[in-house]
Amino acid sequence: MSIWAQLLILFVLILLNGFFAMSELALMLARKVRLETMAVNGHRGARLALVLAKRPAHFLSTVQAGITLVGICTGAISGSALAAEAGRWLLTTVPVLGQWAAPLALVVVITSVGYLSLVCELAPKQLAVSNPEAIAVVVAWPMWMVSAVVAPMVWLLAKSIYLVLRLFGYGHHAPQTVTEEEVRAFIAEGVRAGVLKPAERDMMAGVMRLADWRVRALMTPRPGIEWIDVDDDPATVLHKVRESRYSRLPVARGDLDDLLGIVQAKDLLDQHLDGHPFDIHSALREAVVIHGNNPALSVLDVLRSSPLHLAIVVDEYGSVQGIITATDILQTIVGSLASPDADPRPQVVRRKDGSWLVDGELAFDMARDLMGLKGFPSSEGEYTTVAGFALACLGRIPAVGEQFHCGHYSFEVINMEGRRIDQLAVYRRIVDTEEDQIADDFGIPLV
């Protein structure tokens, strides 16, 4: 075989090595969502790429078998035939080299082939990284044919690998899943790339936040419930309905725990306009009752099936804890909705000194996300609001001006309404003592 034929075969082998490397990286990096979209639109290469991606062990074995065979053939040609030809050429051209001609020729050939192999492997890999989906659909058919040809070898490799892994106790592996942090990272990347708008990001964050919360974190707590006593006289009922900012009011006898149902202000107004006295019993509607520890997402089906879009929240003893409506769910996703009677004071304010002024009724998980507080666990189980977090850390009802520390942050009680914490200030503090550092590392509140 002539030297030129050997060089041509070597060049083809180097290109094959680059093709295998590019195919492996493209099919590993290609996003299945995009491939599925292309497959739905009728792209046959995308459908085949999905089949290969769903069988990573078989595909990787095929790629590795191809790379190994190409490497063996490349080494054989460059190490024997080309090095011998180059050695003879050097000895003829530069006779003074003598016995050093053959080793020098071997070094030159290996260096040249290695350099060319690296270039022809890294360049295709760069292409695969820059546009993995487009490359994946192009290489899918050739790789499918290669896998069919080397199927017996791949089967033998798969069995051998399985036996080796069994020896080390790794016979089976759990399927890879996408974590919530990865989803948030993808969303942030979409915003930076201009694919998503900040408002869309905020809504997605609200949906993910909603999935982590319990009903009690979203409800209007019992002290904020406006209700009607069924034994009140018509004038008192009329006054409560007129002064209330809500269109649906619970009805109870004597105490909210003796709940009778829900009444709509419109039904009472219709009675009044028709010239009839208020008849609470005829206007009563059955109340939907749910437990406060239920996941917030589960209440969506309840509110969707209820004509009032409202549910009463109770604890394990059946005592009324609060009310949750479809509006509460919506506000978690899109933010607070303006209301003529709502408190105009914002729930979170960034002050000039860098500290935060926080409403005590704000959900703790939302406050943590809005202020970017780090190192705080989820409020699941112990508390749902910022005020509840403060009470959990202090273990008692605080006084105005009282401070406590948790992690890298200091909290100060700014305002109290009776025994309820109305506002707190949050400061970023400097951890400078050994005691503070230990407490910070273990998340121990320092009061």
Q: How confident is the model at residue 96, as a pLDDT?
A: 62
> What is this structure's pTM?
0.55
pLDDT recorded at residue 66: 77
> Measured between alpha carbons, how far is 152 from 62 in angstroms, rounded to an integer?
10
Tell me if residue 335 falls in helix, strand or coil: coil
- What is the structure's pLDDT at 445? 42
Residue 237: half-sphere exposure toward Cβ, Cα within 13 Å: 25
Euclidean distance between CA atoms 257 and 321, whole angstroms: 9
> How far apart, in whole angstroms, are the C-alpha atoms of residue 211 and residue 223?
26
Each residue's pLDDT tens digit, 371-418 = 766 656 555 556 778 888 888 888 888 899 898 888 778 899 999 988
pLDDT at residue 346 greater than cutoff 70: no
Alpha-carbon dihedral sign for residues 208, 212, 216, 221: negative
Residue 342 has pLDDT above 70, yes or no: no
- In the structure, what pLDDT confidence band is assigned to residue 87 with cuts at 50, 70 and 90? low
Number of Cβ within 10 Å of residue 380's Cβ equals 13
CB-CB contact of 150 with 47 (8 Å): no
When pLDDT is cut at 50, 70 and 90, the band that residue 447 belongs to is very low
By CB atoms closer than 10 A (0-12, 13-18, 19+), residue 115 is exposed
Query: Going by C-beta distance under 8 Å and a sequence separation of 6 or more, which residues neighbour residue 321?
Result: 216, 219, 221, 222, 292, 313, 314, 315
State whether the Cα torsion 89-95-97-103 is positive or negative. Answer: positive
DSSP class of 247? S
> Rounded to the nearest 10 degrees, what angle do helices 234-243 and 265-273 cross at?
120
Nearest CA-CA partner of 26 in 44, 4, 49, 42: 49
Closest CA to 404 of 419, 387, 420: 387
In the chain, ranges of CATH 3.10.580.10 domains: 215-334
- What are 416's strand-pairing partners? 421
Tokens of 206: 């609200």
Task: Say what percent of the chain tops pLDDT 90.
Answer: 7
Split at pLDDT 50, 70, 90, the class of 85 is low
The vertex-237 CA angle with 234 and 306, nearest 5°, equals 125
* Secondary-structure class of domain 215-334 per CATH: alpha beta
**Which of the four pLDDT bands, split at 50, 70 and 90, describes residue 312?**
very high
Name which CATH class applies to 348-442: alpha beta
State the average pLDDT over residues 346-362: 82
DSSP class of 286? P
CA contacts within 13 A on the Cβ side of 337: 10
pLDDT tens digits, 92-107: 776 766 677 767 777 7
Q: In the chain, where does the domain assigned CATH 3.30.465.10 lie?
A: 348-442
pLDDT the model gives residue 261? 92
Residues 6+ apart with CB under 8 A from 67: 17, 20, 21
Widest CA span in the chain:
125
Instruction: Tell me the C-alpha distance between 45 and 379, whole Å.
Output: 48
pLDDT tens digits along 143-200: 888 777 777 777 777 778 778 877 877 655 555 566 777 787 888 888 888 888 888 8
What is residue 83's predicted lDDT score, i.e. its pLDDT?
65
Question: Does 263 have pLDDT greater than 80?
Answer: yes
